[in-house]
Amino acid sequence: MTVRAQTSTAKPEAIKDASMLKQKEMIAGNYQALTATAQTGKKVVSTFVPGNLNELIRSFGLLNNLPEINAINNGMRKKSGGMIMEAERSGYSEDVCTYVKSDIGMMARGNIAPNGKPMPAPDLLLLSYTGCFTFMKWFELLRHEYGCETVMLQVPYTGDGVITDNMRNFVVKQLKEVVIPALEKVSGVKFDIDLLRENLARSAKAEDDLVWVLESAKNIRSPIDAYFGGVYYIGPIFTAFRGTQDAIDYYTLLRGEIEQRLAQGLGPITPEGDMGEEKFRIVVEGPPNWTSFREFWKMFYDEGAVVVASTYTKVGGVYDLGFRHNPDRPLESLAEYCLGCYTNRNLPCRVDMLEKYIDEYQADGLLINSIKSCNSFSAGQLMMMKEIEKRTGKPGGFIETDLV
């Protein structure tokens, strides 16, 4: 079912599927839970999207707050500009990650959530370090601000492109000896591996449906846009909902909608309705610009360009290459998830993935949207583009924007 969302601006009314409304309810519910902790007594863990251990966090009855998701939310609501300026006035450089500055500015302005209520201070900062050096410095700032318990899960970089037994065992050892004891201490709850297994089983079910949705773009025409639409599709599984029944319900609903679009021969849904003729099929590397997200997307669908695959939709988990959370190997599975995140892969692996997407999704070319303030992710992207052009014979394009 598709409905029109009422707007009060001169822009065309946004078209929303039932799955979009479901996700909106889930996000609103999570913010409501976070901002009600003073009344409910719930404890909060702050963590980041790549390598986040949501199934483990939830097995202790803890809430999950993700600072970069707050920055994205503020960007899409056109709130981040003033927050970034606030951070820069307090001494943060122009070339510092705009997610960080948006978060710092948000705190300076009262740390107000999208529902208009103050965000709670975290009870635990949990950093799964999966390749972004900025995240580590960001958590140092948050630790200074809140003075709360802080834990870092050190995830080895897969510099040779493979996950070794030593890497896996190293992460599992930290989960057992550092992360789980910290979660027990903050929550006051004893670790229950059976609860974790149940959460992981729910994750695997949702991951199956997500992969089906993303791979539906192999059809000509594609029923989805795997970048501009894809960032919505990954929302629940990359954030506070992986391992929940809500995530299963969302992806069941989403898959049903895409199956219907395939049966009807429809292309992607856009904010202005069904996309017209599919003229170009593109693979995209890099995050989108969130502050001008709708305008950025319109540049593509107005020209008949659909993104059939993207790497940004893999930063929180590379499920289309076969990984699933596994309840039979709970801690090993969490370790492999962290080790396999896109941000933790070397440049040859990233190039191989892009080449695979261009071939398997019958793309006409590659576009790299390089992020000005994201040095960790953007380093090497020109080399990647040139290598893809050489391997595939398909043209590459390179543009630069920023996150928020």
To the nearest 10°, report the CA torsion of 181, 187, 188, 189. Answer: -80
SS3 326: coil
Band of the pLDDT at 11, cuts 50, 70, 90? low
Angle between helices 133-146 and 98-108 (to 10 degrees): 10
| Structure confidence at residue 377 (pLDDT) | 82
| Strands ordered across the beta sheet of 44-46 | 63-65, 44-46, 124-129, 149-154
Which of 141-145, 305-309, 339-343 has maximum average pLDDT?
Answer: 305-309
Domain boundaries, the chain: 11-401
Tell me the CATH class for 11-401.
alpha beta
Percent of the chain with pLDDT strictly greater than 70: 96
Angle between helices 98-108 and 80-89 (to 10 degrees): 90
| Structure confidence at residue 13 (pLDDT) | 65
- Give the CA distances from residue 326 to residues 200, 225, 344, in Å, rounded to whole numbers and listed in that order: 6, 29, 20
Mean pLDDT of 174-189: 99
| Structure confidence at residue 10 (pLDDT) | 53
pTM (2 d.p.): 0.94
| Structure confidence at residue 335 (pLDDT) | 98
Mean pLDDT of 230-236: 97
The alpha carbon dihedral of 188, 111, 117, 73 has a sign of negative
In DSSP terms, 126 is beta-bridged to 151
Mean pLDDT of 50-58: 97
Mean pLDDT of 373-393: 93
How far apart CA 401 and CA 278 sit, in angstroms, is 25
**pLDDT tens for each residue of 24-41:** 999 999 999 999 999 999
Band of the pLDDT at 256, cuts 50, 70, 90? very high
How far apart CA 81 and CA 102 sit, in angstroms, is 8
- Give the CA distances from residue 256 to residues 4, 216, 253, in Å, rounded to whole numbers and listed in that order: 19, 12, 5
How far apart CA 345 and CA 340 sit, in angstroms, is 7
End-to-end CA distance of the chain: 31
Mean pLDDT of 311-331: 97
- Looking at every residue in the chain, the average pLDDT score rounds to 95
